[in-house]
Amino acid sequence: MAERDQLRVTGSWLTALAALVHPRAVTMLFLGFSAGIPILLIFSTLSVWLREAGVERATVTFFSWAALGYSFKFVWAPLIDRLPLPNFIYRLGRRRSWLLVSQLAIVIAILWTSSFDPKTTVVMTAVGAVLIGFSSATQDIVIDAYRIESAKEEMQSMLSAMYIAGYRVGMLVAGAGGLWLADYWGGDHYDYVVWANVYRVMALMMLVGIATTLIIREPHRKPADTAFRNTSDYLRFLLLFLFSVMAFGAAFVMSSGAGQWVKLSLINDFGMMAQLARFLVEALRLALAIFFSAVTARALVGAGLVSRAHVRETYVEPVADFFRRYGHSAIIVIALIGTYRIADIVMGVIANVFYLDMGFTKIQIAMYSKFWGLWATIGGSLLGGILSVRYGVNRTMFLGALLAAATNLLFAYLATQTPEAMLLLWVIVADNASAGLATAAFVAYLSSLTSISFTAMQYAIFSSVMTLVPKILAGYSGTVVDSAGYVVFFVGTAILGIPVLFLVIWAGRLSRHN
């Protein structure tokens, strides 16, 4: 604590800027690039591909659920921490070996997606999107653990800023780069081969992350005591995970028929309540699948497939450690984590569809949203990292949350105007700069909450909670727009950000008292 307090007192703008060229910070720039490539391949870039292929707008936004793997990654994060890989790859070290495996899985998933035309095989495209989301979420688990373990807490805001900068460059390549290639190769006419080649180029871009993984050093960490003693223990735990996933999938698929019947009945009976009914039914199916998966896991533990000590070590102890350290304050912290990015995520899913519906071209979207938006985000994230060092994470988080909600009102204003390129540019720059500032401070905040004894698991829980509710709501953004229009939708997303401001203040006061 003394060292961290001293940094806050003596740190200067020059000192903060110098930290950006630290070797660990540069490493995070390239790993951030590797993390930024796949995310847009299941969000905005995929949305444009699907829209051009003639897929309905509501279905396009439902594809954002392919990224729910990011929200449930805490489920398999313990496997990343505990499960060893074959010796020929594990010799790279625990973090680097899992990084390499996840990056290769991303490449395979992208190539899978490029092999199917969503105009005729939208289900196979959805499978590819889910695979990209799962493997990308796995990569994020390892990168987050690597970042936290490779540097002290006072460096985390700078590492976060560089990670976000690299992340946004990766998003630029997958977003603006992908749209530019699609327009250059295919123009305004839909051509599956064009989009397939775009995705293959994105798979090639993952070589940047793979090369970085092979070059960097494994972070030093004292081995933790573990209840896992031999290969059989690991295999049994892996089987438990696989059976639980299968139970989840079976319950979700088997409930689809009943869910469809209920939705149709409610829609016919209530008309205006159709969209709410649709949301509630899908939420119920998801909850039922989670419950069935948990019951299956509990039954297998009771049958002796794995010992209770293994379950306690991998799932119970990381959560118990968090509540021991934060006590009653933990509930407020969790509420803040779960809602901090709600305004950004819910709005962001439909942003590219909004630009297209407004009449802007793919080139304009690529230039303004992806290119200039990138630099605005990088500038905002670097400023967020520097402000966090100079004035504290909580103050910077409050400013970021306020700006993130306020800039959504600019989109509401844009929706009332005729398409104007410069207005679009300024709205996008303001939105991306505020998002970059908020995210840099928030990632540093999440890192400070994490115990080094449970790095991967705890951070995976925090980042999963961060995106779960916003992404579920985002899946219905197209439906809300169809029902109420863009202006009401954007104003509503701004209102969603207001409670976050009070949670930031509340959490800040609790942290000072602890």
Given this model, what pLDDT does residue 374 score? 79
Q: How many CB atoms lie within 10 A of CB 386?
A: 23
Overall size of the chain counted in residues: 514
Which of 263-267, 296-300, 490-494 is least confident? Answer: 263-267
Task: Return the percentage of the chain with pLDDT > 90, whole number.
Answer: 21
Task: Return the percentage of the chain with pLDDT > 70, whole number.
Answer: 83
Given this model, what pLDDT does residue 213 score? 95
Given this model, what pLDDT does residue 403 score? 92
CA dist., res. 388 & res. 30, Å (int): 22
Q: At residue 1, does pLDDT exceed 50?
A: no
Query: For residues 272 and 202, is the Cβ–Cβ distance under 8 A?
Result: no
Which of 38-52, 97-111, 120-134, 349-363 is least confident? Answer: 349-363
pLDDT category at 5 given cuts 50, 70, 90 is: very low
Higher pLDDT, 5 or 402: 402
pLDDT category at 509 given cuts 50, 70, 90 is: confident
Higher pLDDT, 152 or 260: 152
pLDDT category at 103 given cuts 50, 70, 90 is: very high
Radius of gyration of the chain (CA): 22
Mean pLDDT in the chain? Answer: 81
Q: What is the pLDDT of residues 331-376, one digit of tens each?
A: 888 889 888 988 888 887 778 788 888 888 877 877 787 678 878 9
CA dist., res. 115 & res. 96, Å (int): 29
Q: At residue 53, does pLDDT exceed 70?
A: yes
Higher pLDDT, 235 or 200: 200
Longest dimension (CA), the chain: 66
List the one residue out of 496, 509, 465, 493 whose CA is nearest residue 335: 465
Given this model, what pLDDT does residue 157 score? 74
Question: Which domains are assigned to the chain?
Answer: 13-216+231-513 (1.20.1250.20)
Q: What is the pLDDT of residues 77-95, one digit of tens each?
A: 877 877 777 776 667 888 8
Asked whether the whole model's pTM tops 0.85, one would answer no
Q: At residue 308, does pLDDT exceed 90?
A: no
Query: For residues 345 and 470, is the Cβ–Cβ distance under 8 A?
Result: yes
Block residue for tokens 């509420």 = 335
Residue type, position 457, single letter: M
Given this model, what pLDDT does residue 70 score? 73
Given this model, what pLDDT does residue 107 score? 97
Q: What is the pLDDT of residues 154-180, one digit of tens each?
A: 677 778 888 888 988 898 899 878 988
Which of 1-5, 38-42, 180-184, 245-249 is least confident? Answer: 1-5
pLDDT category at 307 given cuts 50, 70, 90 is: confident
Sign of CA dihedral 181, 185, 189, 193: negative
CA dist., res. 285 & res. 281, Å (int): 6
CA dist., res. 309 & res. 236, Å (int): 13
Higher pLDDT, 60 or 103: 103
The number of C-alpha atoms within 13 Å of 495 and in the hemisphere containing its C-beta is 7
Given this model, what pLDDT does residue 80 score? 82
pLDDT category at 261 given cuts 50, 70, 90 is: low
Given this model, what pLDDT does residue 4 score? 35
